[in-house]
């Protein structure tokens, strides 16, 4: 579960990565308070934080896998996101890239071929 500043904004952003909302909880104000997302075998819960976000202090790194990571990266660019260039570290022979979500969480995306 990741604490975020604005759950609705995060839902829009994660939808561009292919996540869909399985469940959501609305606050009395009408704002989305909590959401449960899915994308294939990946599951993520988002909850609105009660304190200010500090993107420089996000010590959580999410590692995701995508089939055809280079093509997936191009899809994200076409959706208006800004992933890093592909890199090829020893653990990711087919490549991986980094993308940060609106609250500063780092997502590394590698190819399913390296699992």
What local confidence, expressed as pLDDT, does residue 114 receive?
62
Instruction: Specify the DSSP element, H or E, that contains 13.
Output: helix 7-16
pTM higher than 0.85, yes or no? no
Looking at the chain, the whole-number percentage of residues with pLDDT higher than 90 is 70
CATH 3.10.180.10 fits 2-114, yes or no: yes
* pLDDT higher than 80, residue 10: yes
Per-residue confidence at 44, pLDDT binned at 50, 70, 90? very high
**Sheet of 96-100: strands edge to edge?**
61-66, 106-111, 96-100
- Decide: 53 and 103 in contact? Cβ < 8 Å: yes
């Amino acid at each position: 579960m990741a604490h975020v500043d604005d759950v609705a904004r995060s839902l829009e952003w994660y939808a561009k990565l292919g996540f869909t909302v399985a469940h959501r909880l609305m606050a009395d104000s009408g704002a989305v308070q909590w959401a449960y997302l899915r994308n294939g075998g990946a599951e993520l819960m988002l909850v609105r934080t009660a304190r200010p976000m500090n993107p420089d202090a996000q010590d959580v790194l999410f590692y995701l896998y995508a089939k055809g990571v280079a093509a997936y990266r191009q899809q994200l660019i076409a959706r208006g996101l800004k992933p890093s260039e592909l890199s090829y570290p020893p653990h990711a022979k087919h490549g991986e890239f980094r993308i940060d979500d609106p609250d500063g969480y780092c997502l590394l995306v590698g190819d399913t071929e390296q699992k």
